[in-house]
Structure formats: structure tokens, C-alpha cells
């Protein structure tokens, strides 16, 4: 692993100093260095690929003007490509080719879940990543072909809910997915970090250690909650043969830019609100939805979020910026009035149906929706999952299995 780390760094230096961007040139260099250090050629190639991608990231950051230190790999690890190892799923024995004529093997614990996932026919193990504390088996899968949808769910992403409409051939209903837990977890950890920061203010080293640990816990817990939510949503969509419409947030890079971009109406945001918005894991939510949808063959439509929150779905009137502030959307022209978050979701639904010919059979009439009944998208039973917030000293909960906790 130490050799591999050095090899990556050597390639990285070569890439950055010589300005190499092509795979071929760096792999020639890597093969030469691998020969000199007697490392298996395939592993040398893997090192060069990693160096190349690290360098690409570094160049991109330089272009964007984010000053960063030159990348340098400090933690020993090794990435072994397919030809250089043999993995036996039944016994968990992993055999690696290290140098010419030198092999090593060790056994990794394989659970039934691993066996079930890896034994599926279209899953091919392509790489093994070995770090100091873990072994990661990387597999590739050919994604399922998206099915032809018979209904549509359009969801607007909000801070603690996804709101929108579900359109089927029988009609349309408002739907909502609530996840207040995520914010509770974040608030809890924020409070704890602040407490730790005060308590350990005299010792920078300890405080930094404890604070970063808190950060990890928070991210893990939030992520695991989001996994529960996205899995339920995609399950429901796949059984209903629905398509999913979401806002395309790429290029916005988080809510921070939005605040800067729409300065014209400059609603002053408090420090507390700014912190809440920037810690909001919106892109993680979308990332999970996107890859799970692809995995299950759920077609996803990405729509521009431009004006969704201030357009009237009935008459198309775009209201002034200022009107965004309230919790309701009121149209000055035709008198349409609706919860602002649902309204944005409804607009996404209208646009999605207008855009796609494949959903032509479906119809969305805002007036037919006026009954204002909001349904949860899947049977709510948050208590099914790991418990949410209770008392202190419970940050480990992200690993709690379902039903692992007694109800309060």
C-alpha cells in the first residue's frame, strides 16, 4: 500500500509538472515506474488513473479560482483492477497479485447481503479498494432500461419535505413526503458542536478532533435517513410505473448562490437561516433519487426550477419576486391560491406534461385539484425506521437496524 501511495504521488507529480492530460502518456510512464519498482503492471496503471483524475480535479479547482494546495496522497491504500485479483464469493478469500511472482491472499468477512448482491448475474466485480481499515469491492451493473411510465409524480424539493402532485389516468392528487427528522438531527448536532466548541476552547487539538467526529456522525445520520426516504419513494414509483419529475439543481451549486443571484429583491436572511440553508443536503437527496431511479428503471425528468415558485399554474401569470415570501402563493390575476411549496410542485408537473410526448395520455387540470387534500406519497411510518432524536449520547444511531428501537 505504501508503494502504491508513492506511485500515485509520482504519477501525480509527472502529470502536473509535464502537463500531461492523456491516458496513454501517463500510463506509459506508470508502466515504466511499475517495472522499476517491480509492481504488477495493472496496479501501476490503476495508480496512473487515480493520479490523472486527482490532477483533473485540481486543474478544475484552479480554473474556478478556488486556491487549493497541490494534491498529495497521504493515506496508504491500493486500488486493484480486475485482472490482478481473484475474489471467491463463497469463502470470501481475496487473492491479489502484487509483484511479479508475488501473491498474497486474505479472507474478508462476507455477509449474506454481500453474497446476494454480488451473485446477481449482471453484477461484475471490477475493482477492489484496500484501505487501512476497510476493503471495498467495487462492482459494475448495467442499468435497467427505463420503463414506459403510466403516471407522473412531480416533486419540488423543500427544506423538510418534497411536495408536489401525482398524476394518474384517473386524476391528480397532491402528494407530500415529509422528513422533519433530517433537520432535527442537524439542529441537534449543531447544538452539540457549539457546546463542544465552547467547552474545549482552551485546547485546539482536542476540540478539532471532537468537532470533526461530530461532523462525521451528523453526515452519516443524515445520509442514512435520506436513504430510507429515497428508497421508499423509488419503491413506490417503481410499483406504480410512475415517472419522476424533479428540479434540475445543477449549475446552481447549492442555495448559497441562489441567495447571491437573486439579490435584486434582497430579503435579508439571518445568520441562522443561512446556516440552515447551506447545510441542507439537497444535492445528496437528488443524487440518491437519481441513482436509485436508474437502478429500478424509473424515468426521471429534470426540469428547470426557474420561476416554479412564482408562476400561476392556472393562468401562467408570473408574480413579482416579493410575493415569494409568504407561505401561500396567491395569483393577482385569477385569484388562484395554494400552499407555496405545493404550487411549485404543481408547476413542475404542468411543465413535465407539456414537455414530454410519452406522457400524452395524462392530464393535469389545476382546478380539479382544488380540494387541497394532501396525501403522503407512501404509507408514513417513520417509526419503522431507526429512531429519530431522543436524548444525548445517541449519535451512533445511524447504524441502528429497522425496528431496532422501542417506541418512545
Binding residues for Zn ion, rule: CB under 5 A, are: 312, 314-315, 317, 331, 333-334, 336
> Which runs of E-coded beta strand occur in 248-314?
300-303
Neighbours of 4 (CB within 10 A): 23
Angle at 161 between CA 155 and CA 167, to 5 degrees: 30
How far is Cα 243 from Cα 153, in angstroms, rounded to an integer?
Answer: 6
Q: Checking DSSP bridges between strand 300-303 and strand 242-247, what pairing results, if any? A: parallel
Minimum Å gap between C-beta 340 and Zn ion is 14
What DSSP designation does 385 have? S
Name the nearest CA neighbour of 397 among 382, 407, 384, 385. 385
- Alpha-helical regions (H) of 109-268: 112-118, 180-199, 204-240, 255-261
- CB nearer to Zn ion: pick between 87 and 336: 336
What DSSP designation does 175 have? E
Minimum Å gap between C-beta 324 and Zn ion is 15
How far is Cα 405 from Cα 397, in angstroms, rounded to an integer?
Answer: 10
- CB nearer to Zn ion: pick between 224 and 319: 319
Minimum Å gap between C-beta 316 and Zn ion is 7
Minimum Å gap between C-beta 183 and Zn ion is 32
Are 380 and 178 within 8 A, CB to CB? yes
- CB nearer to Zn ion: pick between 117 and 315: 315
Minimum Å gap between C-beta 367 and Zn ion is 11
- CB nearer to Zn ion: pick between 117 and 318: 318
Torsion of the alpha carbons at 34, 39, 40 and 46, rounded to the nearest 10: -60
- CB nearer to Zn ion: pick between 4 and 336: 336
Minimum Å gap between C-beta 311 and Zn ion is 9
Are 210 and 196 within 8 A, CB to CB? yes
Minimum Å gap between C-beta 54 and Zn ion is 52
- CB nearer to Zn ion: pick between 44 and 349: 349
- CB nearer to Zn ion: pick between 179 and 336: 336
Amino acid at each position: 500500500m505504501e508503494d502504491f501511495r508513492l506511485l500515485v504521488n509520482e504519477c501525480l507529480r509527472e502529470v502536473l509538472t509535464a502537463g500531461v492530460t492523456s491516458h496513454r502518456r501517463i500510463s506509459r510512464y506508470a508502466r515504466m515506474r511499475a517495472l522499476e519498482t517491480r509492481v504488477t503492471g495493472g496496479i501501476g496503471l490503476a495508480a496512473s488513473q487515480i493520479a490523472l483524475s486527482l490532477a483533473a480535479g485540481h486543474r478544475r479547482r484552479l480554473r474556478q479560482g478556488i486556491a487549493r494546495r497541490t494534491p498529495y496522497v497521504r493515506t496508504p491504500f491500493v486500488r486493484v483492477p480486475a485482472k490482478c485479483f481473484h475474489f471467491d464469493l463463497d469463502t470470501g478469500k481475496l487473492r491479489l497479485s502484487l509483484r511479479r511472482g508475488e501473491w498474497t491472499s486474505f479472507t474478508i468477512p462476507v455477509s449474506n447481503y454481500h453474497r446476494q448482491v454480488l451473485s446477481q448475474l449482471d453484477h461484475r466485480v471490477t475493482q477492489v479498494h484496500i484501505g487501512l481499515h476497510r476493503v471495498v469491492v467495487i462492482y459494475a451493473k448495467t442499468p435497467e432500461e427505463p420503463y414506459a411510465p403510466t403516471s407522473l409524480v412531480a416533486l419540488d424539493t423543500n427544506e423538510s419535505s418534497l411536495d408536489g402532485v401525482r398524476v394518474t389516468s384517473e386524476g391528480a392528487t397532491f402528494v407530500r413526503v415529509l422528513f422533519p427528522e433530517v433537520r432535527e438531527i442537524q439542529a441537534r448536532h449543531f447544538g452539540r458542536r457549539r457546546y463542544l466548541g465552547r467547552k474545549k476552547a482552551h485546547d485546539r487539538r482536542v476540540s478539532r478532533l471532537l468537532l470533526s467526529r461530530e461532523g462525521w456522525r451528523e453526515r452519516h445520520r443524515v445520509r442514512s435517513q435520506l436513504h430510507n426516504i429515497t428508497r421508499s419513494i423509488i419503491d413506490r414509483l417503481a410499483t406504480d410505473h410512475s415517472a419522476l419529475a424533479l428540479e434540475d439543481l445543477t449549475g446552481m451549486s447549492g442555495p448559497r448562490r441562489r441567495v447571491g443571484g437573486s439579490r435584486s429583491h434582497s430579503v435579508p436572511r439571518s445568520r441562522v437561516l443561512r446556516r440552515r440553508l447551506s447545510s441542507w443536503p439537497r444535492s445528496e437527496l437528488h443524487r440518491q433519487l437519481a441513482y436509485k431511479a436508474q437502478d429500478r428503471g424509473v424515468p426521471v425528468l429534470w426540469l428547470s426550477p426557474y420561476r416554479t415558485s412564482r408562476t400561476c399554474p392556472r393562468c401562467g401569470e408570473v408574480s413579482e419576486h416579493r410575493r415569494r415570501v409568504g407561505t401561500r402563493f396567491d395569483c393577482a390575476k385569477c385569484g388562484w391560491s395554494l400552499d407555496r411549496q405545493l404550487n411549485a410542485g404543481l408547476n413542475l408537473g404542468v411543465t413535465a406534461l407539456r414537455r414530454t410526448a410519452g406522457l400524452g395520455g395524462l392530464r393535469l387540470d389545476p382546478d380539479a385539484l382544488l380540494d387541497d387534500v394532501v396525501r403522503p406519497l407512501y404509507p408514513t411510518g417513520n417509526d419503522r425506521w431507526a429512531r429519530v432524536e431522543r436524548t444525548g449520547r445517541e449519535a451512533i444511531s445511524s447504524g441502528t437496524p429497522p425496528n431496532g428501537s422501542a417506541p418512545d
